[in-house]
Chains A and B, each alone.
Chain A
Amino acid sequence: MTAAPLPRLALEHVRKSFGSFLALADVGLAVPAGMFVSLLGPSGCGKTTLLRLIAGSIVPDQGRVLVDGEDVTGVPTWHRNMGMVFQSFALFPHMTVAENVAFPLEVRREPEGLRRRRVTEALAMVHLDRHAGAYPRQLSGGQQQRVGLARAIVYRPRILLLDEPLSNLDAGLREELRFEIGEVTRRLEITSVYVTHDQREALALSDRIAVMQAGRIVQFDTPEVIHRRPASAFVAGFVGYANSLTLEMQGGLGRLAAGAGALRPADGRGISGPAIAFIHASDVVLCTSAQLGENRLVCHVAAIAFMGDHTEYVLEWGQGLKMKAVAPVGAASLVRGDEVTVFLPAEKLVVVPADAEAADAPAR
């Protein structure tokens, strides 16, 4: 293997505070050219600050921002050659769709012919070629954001920044536009940084996800790893693990705190002491036989919700301890109050030490 090429974007020990609020604490990140990276985290975790810092709208207190190895920390926004898609669309209301898309080419003094060709191309790419003469207010939210996307890529920026571009859209449109964003960025092989608090968006679009918590990147990995092997309780909770069980780990075996049995997770060898096991609701297996043993729990059905294509069960397995499970409609004929044994497959259990839980508290 040869030496790794310079990353398109690199952040080194970036730190930023607003007054006494520490927004970013020593963030480092390297994004290779062409990669789609999501910054995922709850509001206030610093993800938008990080994005605006890459754009140059915010100057870090410490640390450097490098693009292709060149330090751009002191370079003003308008010389950074980046593209950005905004949560509020940020289309210029006094310009038509075509004028909006042409604006970045115009300030770059591109020749008229090239300008027109690029605008047509970009609008075709987002299927808006027929709306070139319309004003933003005449378009739907989804169409407006597609203009925003076209405007951000028309000048082939080195990096595309997307700040929660879907969060102002209706659920249906959101999926459609998410698909379109993936399509366009893949086709142009453009390096993208995507800010979101929605784990499904991040999982669907990204080559890599950086999960952020309280101004730090707590895990940076592929969507599969983030989803299957969250590094901490915080990440597990954030990527949608519905169930958490408190354990006392010893020699690979975890005793449930409530004394309801024991779990043997597949990767529990390295951990001892208080720990938390996570499992997705869809990975909880409802057993027909009442056979007991490791990774099996006896529960009572506390509530049932019919969700159309599946049924959701809330199961109680001890004093006030609940767990969620789902089953295809008709797969299990349970009613409220029934006793049921569940099986938690060892390879689906994710165990993290409980002290990582401390970081779960909303920190500053």
Chain B
Amino acid sequence: MRTLGAELGSSRRRWSLLAAPVWALGLLPLLLFLAAAFYFPVLYTIVESLQGKAGVGPTLANYTSFVASRAGLDTLALTLFLSIAATILAVGFCLPLGLALRRRFRGKQAILFLTMLPIIIPTLVGALGLLILYDRTGWLNFFLVHVLHVVHEPLLIDYTIPGLVLFYVWMFFPYGALVILSGLSAIDPALEEAGRVMGAPPLVVFRRILLPLLRPSLLAGAILIFVQCFGAFSVPLIAGGNYQPIAVRIYTVATVFLDWNRASAMAVVMGIIQCVLVIAYQRANRAGGSTTL
């Protein structure tokens, strides 16, 4: 708040058209472009979402039919369940990974490289590979049934909810891993050494020292993963089978049922939820002390 006030004050001093603000010339093209190609479409989407079937409006019918209908609530519940389950698993996966990556060892750079792989490559390729790997006749089942003999029948993973959660974890854990890794690297290793010298075994050091200090990063990482899961489109589109979370549902309603007004309402709801989540992430991140723009 204080910085905003300061900016207001100083801008009043400097803001004069004659002084030809250089920053305005620099920012203008980008802002015009975003206004035309992004903000206008967003506005258009909001307007569409308020229009009824035969062009009547403004109406909230598209929103009520989404939020109040069984199908709409199912979509939201499915999206939330997938996102929450995947977030919990991914954070539980990032934490030991981060701890294992604390020490220096040969090949660490390669592991970091792999950590970033799922978010750099096109999502569809990852989803395709996951579908093949976890297929009834894929490698996982091949090893479980024919090599390890731990199960008799191949496991059904593709196109199931647990399978979808697994795919989400693979696809989106890097966001959490990056936050948690930078959080861990901000903790002075001497703190752990101090704890051990003072008589705390590793588990106590972890519980009493590392975990409390890491909590803001864990929270920020969790929100970031959740945001990604909530907005996931490509993975559930090709690997979701009959399960359609909100992003896929919007696409289906728009392009299959051709009900753009209802799809627009869903898109607006989704955008608002996502904005709230992003703000929560920035709060958590600030609490964690790391500064990302």
User: When A and B assemble into the complex, do they touch directly, with CB atoms less than 8 Å apart?
Assistant: yes
Please give the residue numbers on chain A whose beta carbons come within 8 Å of chain B beta carbons, in ascending order: 52, 55-57, 76-84, 86-88, 90, 92-94, 103-104, 107-108, 151-152, 155, 161
Number of A-B contacts (CB under 8 A): 69
Q: Check if B84 is an interface residue, CB within 8 A of chain A.
A: no
CB proximity of B137 to chain A, nearest CB, Å? 47
User: Are B197 and A84 in contact, with the CB atoms below 8 A?
Assistant: yes
User: Are B200 and A82 in contact, with the CB atoms below 8 A?
Assistant: no
* 12 residue pairs bridging A and B, Cβ less than 8 Å apart: A52-B193, A56-B197, A78-B199, A78-B201, A78-B202, A84-B193, A90-B188, A90-B190, A92-B195, A92-B213, A107-B204, A151-B198
A151 to B194, CA, bound (A): 10
Residues from chain B with Cβ under 8 Å of A57 in the complex? 193, 196-197
User: Are B199 and A155 in contact, with the CB atoms below 8 A?
Assistant: yes
Residues from chain A with Cβ under 8 Å of B194 in the complex? 84, 86, 90, 92, 151
User: Are B198 and A103 in contact, with the CB atoms below 8 A?
Assistant: yes
A161 to B194, CA, bound (A): 11
Q: Choose one: A55, A76, A90; the contact of B191 (CB below 8 Å).
A: A90
A55 to B198, CA, bound (A): 10
Given the known interface contacts A88-B190, A90-B188, the answer about A107 and B197 at a Cβ–Cβ threshold of 8 Å is no
Residues from chain B with Cβ under 8 Å of A55 in the complex? 193, 197
Interface centre among B193, B194, B202 (most CB of A within 10 A): B194
Q: Is the interface of B mostly helix, strand, loop or mixed?
A: helix
Residues from chain B with Cβ under 8 Å of A152 in the complex? 198
Residues from chain B with Cβ under 8 Å of A92 in the complex? 191, 194-195, 209, 213
User: Are A107 and B212 in contact, with the CB atoms below 8 A?
Assistant: no
A55 to B192, CA, bound (A): 13
Q: Choose one: B199, B204, B213; the contact of A81 (CB below 8 Å).
A: B199
Residues from chain B with Cβ under 8 Å of A87 in the complex? 190
6 closest A-B pairs (Cβ-Cβ)?
A104-B198, A90-B190, A90-B194, A77-B196, A84-B197, A107-B200
CB proximity of A144 to chain B, nearest CB, Å? 13
Question: Residue of A at shortest CB range from B211?
Answer: A94
A103 to B198, CA, bound (A): 8
Q: Check if B108 is an interface residue, CB within 8 A of chain A.
A: no
Q: Check if B208 is an interface residue, CB within 8 A of chain A.
A: yes
CB proximity of B6 to chain A, nearest CB, Å? 25
A56-B196, A83-B197, A107-B200 are known contacts; what are 14 more A-B pairs with Cβ within 8 Å?
A: A52-B193, A78-B196, A78-B197, A78-B198, A84-B197, A86-B190, A88-B190, A90-B190, A90-B191, A92-B191, A92-B195, A94-B212, A151-B194, A155-B198
CB proximity of A59 to chain B, nearest CB, Å? 13
Residues from chain A with Cβ under 8 Å of B196 in the complex? 56-57, 76-78
User: Are A83 and B190 in contact, with the CB atoms below 8 A?
Assistant: no
User: Are A107 and B199 in contact, with the CB atoms below 8 A?
Assistant: yes
User: Are A78 and B213 in contact, with the CB atoms below 8 A?
Assistant: no
Residues from chain B with Cβ under 8 Å of A79 in the complex? 199
- What are the interface flags for B196-229 relative to A under an 8 Å C-beta threshold, 1 for contact and 0 otherwise? 1111111010001100110000000000000000
